[in-house]
Amino acid sequence: MDNSLLVDLSRSQFALTAMYHWLFVPLTLGLSFIIAFMETIYVKTGNPEWKKITKFWMTLFGINFAIGLATGIIMEFEFGTNWSNYSWIVGDIFGAPLAIEGIMAFFMESTFFAVMFFGWNKVSKKAHLLSTWLVAIGSNLSALWILVANGWMQYPTGMKFNVDTARFEMESFFDVLFNPVAVSKFLHTVSSGYVMGSLFVIGISSWYLLKKRDTVFAKRSIIVAASFGLLASIFLISTGDESAHQVALKQPTKLAAMEGLYDGSKRQGIVAIGQLTSGKEIGDNKDDFVWSVQIPYALSFLGFRNIDAFVPGMDDLVLGNKKMNIEPASDMLAKGKIALKSLRDYKNAQKVNDAEKSQASLKTFRMYEKYLGYGYLKNPVDIIPPVGLTFYSFHIMVGLGTWFLILFFFMLYYSMIGKIEDKRLFQKLALWSIPLGYLAGEVGWIVAEVGRQPWAIQGMLPTQVATSHLTSNSVAVTLVLFAVLFTGLLIAEIKIMLSQIKLGFKGA
């Protein structure tokens, strides 16, 4: 069996599923709150125009929710089939957050969803408004539990590896829940959803302004979405900063790849924009960049909150840096192999009931346990994620995030001074920023997940060990099936959305 092909296909399939799923989720997260704001204005003012506005956006929310519903469940199928080793090993950790997600958030969301759509004129205004808010809160709570699980993969904490059950077992639920990586990841991810929701509302409203129809409804929608988008963008930047700080502390190889940094230094600058040197390898002394624009000291300060801090580069992390007390990766691989061997010895001793040897092996394993994942790697350079994909994805995400902040500012400013209808350039820019919002979300996931490679669980389990022993053909077949199925769903969503948008606010 060609294991590398199997791993690549399994990863491609999971990436495809996750990326399609992530086309639907951010809009749900953001639009649910925007609808709640609009309905709150309706309830406060009693103005029926706000009811029409709310119902219009609620219909688009419903289309997105229905088409996207259960696309995430496919990832759970894949865990059981393609990633059976992984799902067994993490079952005890992931079981709790995912069960809570199912019971609490999904049911909360689904129950009040019916009231939100069917309850107009059947329940009181306040009860309806409460349902709308609870749908928004429920959607965001779903994201919390998923991101707690994902945060744990980036920084495993609150657990111990049980050598008899081959599982990471939870020792502290609160350590898992309040894992700093999970907290910053949750806040950054949901705020990116708020930005996406705002871009969607502003972009479609701008289309109405460009077409000179439903202008009153469109202008009101822009005010709500631009205000929310502007605040969300500021929050997004601050949570992104915290997220990068956590990466600097917990995943130094990911940070180095995000910045294309090979030779680390104190007072390290950050690359605002640049072109990586192609064919660059660890320790080859070539320049990191063909050209770049750097902001001096910024990476030391943003990464470690200290302008004098040393930021390790990929050369330091692979080859080691005695002066900065960074262990060479080759030493970590050697210790990982001791951990792996002692685990194997423990199991063999258990089989023949050799209590003395099993105790000695277990003791050795516990000494080297934290290096376990490194024992599976062949070469020290294997600790480095794909640099080009991580670097460019990160910089596209940051660049787009900055653009969205500027866009929200000007859309709100022109709306407040009553000139938004004249600003056709900004209307066009807003419309074309909708796909850019999706792009930013997707490249954000690439930074998080490709940047985590080679690990499925940081430092503990490499991706190639997490896969099931399947034939690569069977994975290839389901990969093609998904590509066709999910593309069909996406086309259906776009077609239904567009026909609903063409009907306009009066059709709501």
Partner 1 sequence: MQELCKKVFRFYVEGFQNMKVGKKLWAILAIKFFIFFIVLKIFFFPDILQTKFSNDHERANYVMENITQ
Chain residues binding partner 1 by CB under 8 A are 59, 62-63, 66-67, 69-70, 73-74, 77-78, 80-81, 84-85, 87-89, 114, 117-119, 122, 164-167, 340, 343-344, 347, 461, 465, 468-470, 474, 477-478, 481, 485, 489, 492, 496, 500
In the complex with partner 1, the residue whose CB is nearer, 367 or 477, is 477
| Residue 81 vs 364, nearer CB to partner 1 | 81
Least Å from the CB of residue 150 to partner 1: 21
Residues contacting 236, CB < 8 A, separation 6+ = 188, 191, 192, 194, 195, 401
Q: Give 268 or 467: the residue with its C-beta nearer to partner 1.
A: 467
CA distance 215 to 212: 6
Token pair 């309850």 is found at: 119
Least distance CB 169 / partner 1 (angstroms)? 12
Question: How far apart are CB 465 and partner 1 at their closest, in Å?
Answer: 6
One-character DSSP codes across 233-293: HHHHHHHHHHHHHHHHHH-HHHHHHHHT--S-EET--EEEEEEEPTT--TT----SEEEEE
CB of 316 to partner 1, least distance (A): 30
- Beta carbons of 229 and 404 less than 8 angstroms apart: yes
Closest distance to partner 1 from the beta carbon of 156 (Å): 15
C-beta closer to partner 1: residue 65 or 228: 65
Task: With CA atoms as reference, report the closest residue to 337 among 277, 387, 377, 389.
Answer: 377
Q: How far is the CB of 65 from partner 1 (least distance, A)?
A: 9
Q: Which is nearer to partner 1, 19 or 123 (CB)?
A: 123
Pairing mode of beta strands 167-170, 289-295: unpaired
- Compare residues 63 and 314 and give the one whose CB is closer to partner 1: 63
Burial of 5 (0-12, 13-18, 19+ CB in 10 A): middle
Q: What DSSP string runs through 23-76?
A: HHHHHHHHHHHHHHHHHHHHHHH--HHHHHHHHHHHHHHHHHHHHHTTTTHHHH
Q: Where do we find the tokens 């769903």? A: 489
Report the residue number, 204 or 257, with the smaller CB distance to partner 1. 204
Residue number, 39 or 259, with CB nearest to partner 1:
39
Question: Please, is 111 exposed, middle or buried when counting C-beta atoms within 10 Å of its C-beta (0-12, 13-18, 19+)?
Answer: middle
Residue 162: CB minimum distance to partner 1, A: 9
Taking only Cα atoms into account, the Rg of the chain, rounded to an integer number of angstroms, comes to 25
d(CA 282, CA 260): 12
Least Å from the CB of residue 17 to partner 1: 11
